[in-house]
Chain A
Amino acid sequence: MTVESTAARTPRRTSGGKRAGGKTATKAAKTAQAQAAEPELVQLLTPEGQRVEHPDYAIDLSADELRGLYKDMVLTRQFDAEAIALQRQGELGLWPSLLGQEAAQIGSGRATKDDDYVFPTYREHGVAWCRGVQPKNLLGMFRGVNNGGWDPNSNNFHLYTIVIGSQALHATGYAMGITKDGADSAVVAYFGDGASSQGDVMEGFNFAAVYNAPVVFFCQNNQWAISESNEKQFRVPLYQRAQGFGFPGVRVDGNDVLAVLAVTRAALDRARRGEGPMLIEAFTYRMGAHTTSDDPTKYRRDEEREAWEAKDPILRLRTYLLAEGLADEAFFADLEKESEAFGKQVREAVRSMEDPDMMAIFENVYADGSALVDEERAQFAAYQASFADGEGK
């Protein structure tokens, strides 16, 4: 099958589709066959804010829950905007923005249960929010005061992983441990379209399949790996790759928080039931730069971004909430105030972060200590003391 690169970029929106496991809804399947190059996309809320049904993935949320998802996305976007501004002001060294990916992250993050475990890349600020990680903690490494620093076990949210794709294996190993323990929790491994080219991701897929590990591989295909588009990374739509490893893959509208939540819940439930791994490709778009150091105007067209603006994840849920009378103006006004206050908190938290002590680098190199580290620490302390005792600093 030849896959047009344009097909990977502009998927057909459909409310029906081929079932991940192979069973088909006949009419939709025929359509799918006729347009084989057009991958299916699970969607429950259209960009226009219309609720649609999907034969395999249903969701029924209360007004409270829907407003909760909306709030999560708005606060996450606010946090992201604050971080970008803080970088521009010199308070952070770098920031990888998640703008545009709020639904993919909140939908999947809210699908996890407390005892599930999450292995993020470095852009999962929205997932971290869902897991209850203090926003301030995410900013420490980008301010340069630490290299992570939160306790992964307090929220079952692992440290950000910067080298691309490595965490797919950690997630798989952790999931293998869950199986050994006889526990019924599951793991989510986040990665991106660029990471799909990494061997570690492929090895993670294979180990997970071989050991039937309860891990959900959640790929946010935001179309761009810094400056390289999907066509530079792969030839077969990502979700289809799972089939070759022996587990199901599904493509979901990554800007549709309801669909992402429904699909991730189903995948996690499946994993918890002992049915093994699953791949989710959340089809979305990186609205901003790769990081604050990047300049997307050098490699992509404005029109492309504009086309995705129309599919904004927050806007479509707002339209739906208003149209269905699930939220009133007071809710949105209150949220705006809360969001502003949250932004202020973030700014203050960053500005009040203290630089670490140089001697701290010698701590935690080893859990059991090391004579070598002790020796070098003592030498450096003596060197520092020589300034204080002598002419001073």
Chain B
Amino acid sequence: MAVQKLPLAKAINESLRTALENDPKVVLMGEDIGKLGGVFRVTDGLQKDFGESRVIDTPLAESGIVGTAIGLALRGYRPVVEIQFDGFVFPAYDQIVTQLAKMHARSLGKVKLPVVIRIPYGGGIGAVEHHSESPEALFAHVAGLKVVSPSNSQDAYWMLQQAIQSDDPVIYFEPKRRYWDKSDVDTEAIPAPLHAARTVREGTDLTLVGYGPMVKVCLEAAAAAQEEGKSVEVLDLRSMSPIDFDSIQASVEKTGRLVVVHEAPVFYGSGAEIAARITERCFYHLESPVLRVGGFHAPYPPARLEEEYLPGLDRVLDAVDRSLAY
């Protein structure tokens, strides 16, 4: 029975289990990932089954975790690192940006750094400060890193398999508020390429691009727009570096309108990059300017405000309306 309905967190757990079974060089590292199974239980049961030398509880030091993961990779291991929360990654930012991202190039291709860094990201769970951020653009900006985010259980399983098999460092952003959403996982499927976008709803009037936690919001917005007679196409971007501009271009050439949605602040966000490149590629096809819906240039707000702060159905529909009104 290859197809199972699984919560997204459990799909990641199964993917990690498969990787540990298939490749003795795969090791998991992180804070509280052993007996506790991580604060979100994503690694639940793995230390019990694979032992403390493969599922490693580390000291509470993010730079130390990523720095030693680099050393393990240089020794031939394939470390999969868990950063406990988005806002906790910054002590490791130097190791990721200065060391991990550049070492392959510095060695003129002699060494490879197959390190995956898993980061639960985004808001919507009523957390305290530093637990709800979306820092993906800060990593996508760095040459040498690949940055992806699944939106559903099937992608969560397969994109992690692909990330672990990749010889490049991959930052794997997990939409934490979708951890408990269940959908089908086919562990015998032939997966799409890791960096390909996917059309999750076809439409003709406007293209909505989202990723991670926002794909669900985009689909809801498209369904609501349909009731008003507007045909909205939804693309799940899946990869923020590299970005599958060809798929976005093909969609925009059909619809003529593009709205990009993400939780991260729009200023210098992935929406800005998509807007610039798509404007360049599709200038004569565009019926309106590319619009963005996302966070503001303000620190992530206290939890009581996040429902208003996060892009929701109404804010996405507002952008859809503004685009169509051009």
Q: Which residues of A come within 8 Å of B, CB atoms?
A: 146-153, 158-159, 161, 163, 166, 168-178, 180-181, 199-200, 203-204, 206-207, 210, 363-368, 370-373, 375
Contact = CB atoms under 8 A, between A and B. Distances in A.
A166 B98 contact: yes
A286 B27 CA distance: 41
A158 B67 contact: no
Interface stretch (B57-65, B128-136, B210-218): B57-65
Given A177-B77, A368-B167, 5 more contacts: A149-B107, A159-B103, A169-B95, A207-B68, A364-B105
A364 to B, nearest CB: 4
Contacts of A173: 67-75
Contacts of A148: 106-108
Contact of A166 (B67, B74, B168): B67
Contacts of A366: 104, 144, 146, 168
A255 B167 CA distance: 43
A153 B105 contact: no
A207 B75 contact: no
A181 B61 CA distance: 24
Q: Which of B61, B68, B103, B107 neighbours the largest number of chain A CB atoms within 10 Å of its CB?
A: B68
A88 B211 CA distance: 54
Contacts of B244: 371
**Interface of A (DSSP majority class):** helix
Contacts of A365: 104-105, 143-144
Nearest to A141: B106
B225 interface: no
A218 B7 CA distance: 48
A166 to B, nearest CB: 5
Given A166-B94, A173-B67, A147 B243 contact: no
A89 B99 CA distance: 32
A177 B27 CA distance: 10
Contact of B94 (A147, A163, A174, A370): A163
B109 A363 contact: yes
Contacts of B243: 372
B70 A169 contact: yes
A152 B111 CA distance: 8
Interface string B130-170: 00000000000001101000000000000000000011100
Contacts of B74: 152, 158, 170, 173-174, 177
Contacts of B254: none
B126 interface: no
Contact of B71 (A174, A370, A372, A375): A174
Contacts of B207: none
B270 interface: no
Contacts of A203: 59, 61, 63-64, 67
Interface string B68-93: 11111111110000000000000100
Contacts of B104: 364-367
Contact of B72 (A163, A177, A368): A177
B201 interface: no
Nearest to A148: B106
Contact of B67 (A149, A200, A210): A200
Contacts of A166: 67, 94-95, 98-99
Contacts, number: 146
A147 B104 CA distance: 11
Interface of B: 27, 53, 58-59, 61, 63-64, 66-77, 91, 94-95, 98-99, 102-112, 143-144, 146, 166-168, 195, 241-245
Contacts of A150: 107, 110
B282 to A, nearest CB: 15
9 contacts: A149-B106, A151-B111, A159-B103, A173-B67, A173-B72, A176-B68, A180-B27, A180-B72, A364-B109
B168 A152 contact: no
Given A147-B105, A363-B109, A372-B242, A177 B64 contact: no
A311 to B, nearest CB: 35
Contacts of A169: 63-64, 66-68, 70-71, 95
Contacts of B64: 169, 200, 203-204, 206-207
A130 B72 CA distance: 24
Given A147-B105, A159-B106, A371-B195, A176 B71 contact: yes
A175 B74 CA distance: 10
Contact of A170 (B61, B99, B107, B166): B99
Q: Which of B63, B64, B241, B243 neighbours the largest number of chain A CB atoms within 10 Å of its CB?
A: B64
Contacts of A153: 110-111
Contacts of A373: 143, 242
A166 B96 CA distance: 11
Q: Which of A148, A150, A175, A363 neighbours the largest number of chain B CB atoms within 10 Å of its CB?
A: A148
A209 to B, nearest CB: 9
Given A152-B107, A152-B110, A206 B59 contact: yes
B182 to A, nearest CB: 31
Nearest to B195: A371
Contacts of B146: 366, 370
B310 to A, nearest CB: 28
Nearest to B79: A173
Contact of B75 (A147, A149, A181, A204): A181
A177 B105 contact: no
Contacts of B58: 207
Nearest to A210: B59
Contacts of B98: 163, 166
Given A163-B94, A206-B64, A367 B110 contact: no
Given A206-B64, A210-B59, A368 B168 contact: yes
Contacts of B76: 177
A199 B66 CA distance: 13
B228 to A, nearest CB: 36
Contacts of A367: 104, 109, 112, 166-168
A311 B99 CA distance: 37
Contacts of B77: 177, 180
Contacts of B73: 173
Contacts of A210: 59
Nearest to A215: B71
Given A174-B74, A177-B72, A204 B105 contact: no
A135 B218 CA distance: 58
Contact of A206 (B61, B143, B195): B61
A212 B66 CA distance: 18
Contact of B108 (A158, A364, A370): A364
